[in-house]
Amino acid sequence: MLRLEHVGLAVRDADAARATYAAVVDALSYKSETVAEQGVTTHFMAVENTKLELLEALGEDSPVHRFLERQGEGVHHLAFEVPDIDDAFERMTEAGFTPLSDTPLNGADGKRIFFLHPKSTHGVLIECCSGQPVMPDPAYADTPAGAVAYYTWGNPNRPTLLLLHGAAGSTETETHRLVRYLEPCLHVVALDFIGHGASANASPSQPLTPELFAQNAQAVLDDVGVSQAHVFGFSMGGNMALQLAHDAPDRVARVMAHGAHIDWTTATVDAMTRRLDRADAQTDRMDALHGDWEALAEALRIFIEQLPGAALRLRRQMQTVRQPVLVSMADADDLFPLQAALTLHNALPNSRLAILPGDHHALQHQRIAPLANQMRAFLAPSEHAD
């Protein structure tokens, strides 16, 4: 079932429309963007589980201007999120619907889109849009271990949420999927740990450690100019979010740890090592994602092999974390047992536990909306603060 991504509303005066929808449905305005190809300026407003896009024509040759002249202000289109925009375009065409373009086009919010002619959809203009926005260019924070890449979205005057990916992951492959759900109400910052993604390559002279990863996070917060942030981490990133809360408690307001594990055994090390071994068979792809996959994989193997010996220390360390923590996990995680979430929850003095439907550990294969909704609810007391 496709998700309603947004409702497009054609308006003559965006400022007046924003004020109206803020008053009527408590919609939160969070950004504006001009799409010259479409002849429109789009103003984004967040409402529960979807958003409004107020469409303002750039000129008389804009399709939105023609719509306003013909029909006046009102609903312009309904937009549905599709997992694969090219596949959706082909399927819709083969099913007899009439796209208004020969191929998907670049739209607002970094998405690729296409419209279906309303004559084929009972008088309603339907937009199909890609589920994944285009990645922005990274900025870099200098650290003794090398440059740490990071990305930002949303209003910097809102509370900051720092996203931390898992081992052998990156912002692009994992945490980026959360951004569209969170940027309306938060200033979102996501980093690539050293050795990962667009950051500097791993080096044999600089072992990967929890302390190093926490320093990566602090360096990014410093570079962005943020003194304190909420922190979300997936898998290893969840452990690093808790490490940061321990090492620099004044920098962390709330923690969300999804799919994290503190009770490592030789069996969990073996399971994680097998995943790295499978990735070794895709060296070209992994090099494209991380720069030097061989160096990263070797550094991660060393890092992971040390975790069973640190289990008691990790449990004791969790007892010192005083920030509110949301512990979450997919109910059929295929890497870590569900007990791992309960163990972490019980080790923390101030935590909540959320078990979500899903049969994968990998964040890129999980249903992202339920997780994002849990995060939003957990941050609700602070997300509207300026």
Residues 143-198: pLDDT tens digits? 999 999 999 998 899 999 999 999 999 999 999 999 988 998 899 999 999 999 99
Q: Give the residue ranges of the chain where pLDDT is below 70.
A: 131-133, 381-386
The pLDDT, as a whole number, for residue 24 is: 94
Q: Is residue 384 part of a domain?
A: no
Looking at the fold, whether 95 and 144 belong to one and the same domain comes out as no
Q: Is residue 385 part of a domain?
A: no
Looking at the fold, whether 109 and 76 belong to one and the same domain comes out as yes
CATH number at residue 54: 3.10.180.10
Looking at the fold, whether 76 and 144 belong to one and the same domain comes out as no
For residue 46 the two structure tokens come to 């967040």
Of 101, 130, 159, which residue is a domain's last?
A: 130
CATH number at residue 311: 3.40.50.1820
Number of H helices, E strands in the chain: 12, 16
Of 111, 130, 149, which residue is a domain's last?
A: 130
Angle, alpha carbons 126-109-89 (nearest 5°): 40
Domain range enclosing 267:
139-379
Domains in the chain, number: 2
* Spatial contact of 153 and 15, defined as CB atoms under 8 Å apart: no
Looking at the fold, whether 75 and 157 belong to one and the same domain comes out as no
Question: How far, CA to CA in Å, does 129 sit from each of 2, 32, 337?
Answer: 11, 18, 36
* Cα distance between residue 67 and residue 372, in whole Å: 35
The DSSP bridge partners found for residue 45 are 29, 52
* Spatial contact of 238 and 259, defined as CB atoms under 8 Å apart: yes
* Cα distance between residue 71 and residue 303, in whole Å: 62
* Spatial contact of 123 and 112, defined as CB atoms under 8 Å apart: no
Question: How far, CA to CA in Å, does 151 sit from each of 46, 136, 160, 161?
Answer: 21, 7, 12, 12
